[in-house]
Structures are given as structure tokens and as C-alpha cells.
A and B are shown apart, each in its own frame.
Chain A
């Protein structure tokens, strides 16, 4: 692994406390060879942006089941942009996401949306590809 391993932060923004999905994803990414940080519950978008920079991650996965995915994601992306990190850190969103909101999330700059029921074998390569593309662009 070493320094080349993809570093991912799995985060729970907002007040939602359902973290089964977040933990399952975290385990799966770790098993796929990534270095995974899990924030725990109830972090504000600002805290998540700061932690992502501090941990120097390649990607942030937001897990949201409360229906508040649009405003929360928007704030995280805006925070990363304000810190000049939106090109460095890919943002993914998973959880109870109705299909009608997928396009809106992508338009905000989300690299991938994984609604309830997305298999792990779609999520892992999607993160790998997005990070590889960003690292390639930065190199």
C-alpha cells in the first residue's frame, strides 16, 4: 500500500444517526486496499471539510439518510471549493437518495452518487477511477 494507497474519509454530515451503510462501505474500501477514516456521527459540513484536508484524503464519502442530502452536500462542496480543494478531493454521496436528486448532486460536482441498493462492487471501482483521474490531472 504505502503512500500510494487511496485515502478516503467516510463522513456522516447533519444530524442523521444511521451509520450501517457508512460502516459497511468503510469496511469494503479498507478491504479493497484503501486507507479509510470514519468521522462518526453528526459532523457539520465545515468540520468535514477541515478533517478531509487535515487527513489529506483523496475522496470524501458522505452518507445521508435523512433527506437533507442536497443542502448538506452543497455546503461540503462549497467548503472544499473555498479552500481550493475541490479539484483535489472527490466527493461521493450515498444513502436514501431519490433518483430525481442524482442529477442535481452531479451538477454540484459530486463525483458519484450511490443510492440505497448500490452494490459494493460498483462503489469501489468508481472511487478508484475518480481518484486516479484526479491524480492523473494533478500530475
Chain B
């Protein structure tokens, strides 16, 4: 549900939540992105940082510079601004992905679970642009959605102790990419040779909330050649601009 008015919830003595609703919903997520960009544009001197998620923003501020009720009043005014037209159109980042076999150990399980062939699962997974709802869990991990209903698959009953960097997984109706080696419980469908998180870059994460991701199937040979370019620093990530905001609306 999207609330009629955003709710302001306490996050201790130096942060406040601005919550727009309580579901995973692209429209709700657009409200979060819009307020995030509005706050950034306003350049509030007391702002420390913003943590945007599916349905809310956690706004950290410096309590020495502003009292909580004043901060809330400022955010209320910004949340009412609806001049969304000035914001940049979301970007679509292409993620080259090798599917199945050694790249995605759970592709066969997903196929069996869905009653589809492996090829059909891949085709569906790579068939659309996914909205980046938020980043979290580990640095650079993006929660993407929603996958076509037929390939939605529950998490593994027991998480794996080690998942390789670049692994692409499905959990329920979401999909995501592990930026670094990590434990995890998502069903692995494939792997990308590109880097999702570089602490020495600004911004360090390749993907940012509110933008989109499109998976593009590659074979083992292409995987290796892209990987080589990534290591040499010559690989260029393909990005396009989402022409119509509603392109993602069907997800």
C-alpha cells in the first residue's frame, strides 16, 4: 500500500524515517527516488546522509545544527514538491551474464520448479529491464525486480557458505547480483564477469537505486574475453537512458 501522506518515524536522536508505504512496488520506489533527488538538490547543511530503500528514506542529520521538529518540517516541505520533471531519466545498465552450468548452479532447479526449459528460463530472465529498488546486504548488492512470475523461485532452504563474486540469483520475485564473494541464499542462475563495486571509484557502486538493469546472455568465450578486459581496465559498461519512465512499469 502507498500511504496518502508520507509517514515520519523516529530513528533515534539523529535520524528520521520518511516512509511512503509498506510494499515492494515500483511506483512507491519512484517516490523514494524523487524525494532522494529533491533532498540532494536542496543541499541542506545539516544533512549527513540518506539511506533509500524499497519504501522509505532514512535521513541522518547533525542534531547540533537543527532540532528534530525543524528537520521534519523541512523534509515535509520537500516531500510535497512534485516537480519531478527536472530529474534525470533513469539509466539502464547492461549486465552481460553467462547462464547455467558452472556459472549458475541452480538453473536446472529453477527450470524444474517452474516447469519450463532452461532456455525459456534464461529468455524470460533476460527479457526485460529490472528496477533497482535499493542497495544493501553487502556493499554494491542491488535488489532488482520483479522477475516474470513464472520464474519466481523461493530462496535456498539453507544458504550457501560461499557464492562467487558476479553471481546472479533469484529470490522470490526479485533478482540480484553478488558484487563480492559472500555467503547467500539466492538461487543462482548465472554469473557476470563485470565488477559491481569498486571502493576506489566515485560512486563506488555500478548500480544505483531508481535506475534499471538489463541482463544480456553471453557464452563462455565472451565471459572470458569481457573478464580479461575488466581486469585490464578497458571494459566499458553499456548504459542507455530509459526513454519512457513507464517502460519499467510493467515489471
Say whether A associates with B: no
- Measuring CB to CB, which residues of chain A are less than 8 angstroms from any residue of chain B? none
